[in-house]
Chain A
């Protein structure tokens, strides 16, 4: 791999696998929870700074599929090349797959326990706050221009109001921003 700004300490296959396996094995609540957990964990390891992470996360949004998986794949590839890509894939996929195979017959019954229901209610209550903080942190870490600020506000309103058209509107917002950035810098 010859990425221009590779991190100081290059993690190996098992490092990357271990990190994503651990995150996937203990995190419930879906993509917008797992993405901030991934960010803090790899920043602490010194693999990737916060601003570069949001660059990758934004790129991962352009691909269909589970957000947590795509973000992990991009991060794995960035920090350790194709080996990291494969390690991130296996790390994210194995824990849920294995737990379903082993526990499928009992998980339904466990889900009815009051303590488990309470745990889920509490855990899911933090999701809106984590999601809002993810947007806040991206906004904080970005290099702003008047154009970007105007496009981001217009885009947020357009996508929020677009309902089932969110995906086409998202790509339209990206295309318009890209064209406008291009005109300014040429």
Chain B
């Protein structure tokens, strides 16, 4: 139990780059320690995908649950968010003061953030180009999200319904 807490604490500190990167880090730690087999982990991630909420948090909760039940789920979840929450509180305090000095740091962070998103878009490009449906939906999502004020939630739910209908009719 203690080692579970320590491993997820460590994952939380290293967890840069958003959900799928974090899932990769969790896989390295958990499968690398032989706590779960690669197969068991893959099945958990499939469940994490269909569970609402941030996928990295779902993965942590599921791994904890699988290993030690309810207590394990609570420990893994709280451990993985401990460092992010503490640092967010700290940076929030500093940023509130720093923003009075003209926001140079904020602008520098925006430069880096646009770079990180570019990397993510680049990584997604092959999957978006894999079929006419996914290319069309990706293009539609871009146009709606870039040029209208429509909440992207409707896009996700609409595209999901379309995908389910496509499966039902074409198998």
Contacts and interface: CB of A to CB of B under 8 A. Distances in A.
A130 B145 contact: yes
Interface residues of B, number: 99
B164 interface: yes
B100 to A, nearest CB: 7
A100 interface: yes
Q: Is the interface of B mostly helix, strand, loop or mixed?
A: helix
A28 B49 contact: yes
Contacts of B14: 64
Interface residues of A, number: 105
A11 interface: no
Nearest to A171: B112
B145 A65 contact: no
A69 B163 contact: no
Interface in B117-171: 117-122, 124-125, 127-128, 133-134, 137-146, 149-153, 155-157, 159-168, 171
A117 B152 CA distance: 20
A64 B21 CA distance: 11
Contact of B137 (A108, A125, A162): A125
Contacts of A14: none
Contacts, number: 353
Contact of B12 (A54, A62, A64, A166): A64
Given A32-B120, A160-B115, A167-B16, A59 B95 contact: yes
B54 A34 contact: yes
A87 to B, nearest CB: 13
Given A69-B81, A158-B115, A129 B53 contact: no
B157 to A, nearest CB: 8
Contacts of A64: 12-16, 83-84, 87
A108 B46 contact: yes
A85 B89 contact: yes
B106 interface: yes
9 contacts: A30-B18, A32-B117, A36-B145, A63-B87, A74-B88, A100-B61, A129-B141, A138-B114, A177-B111
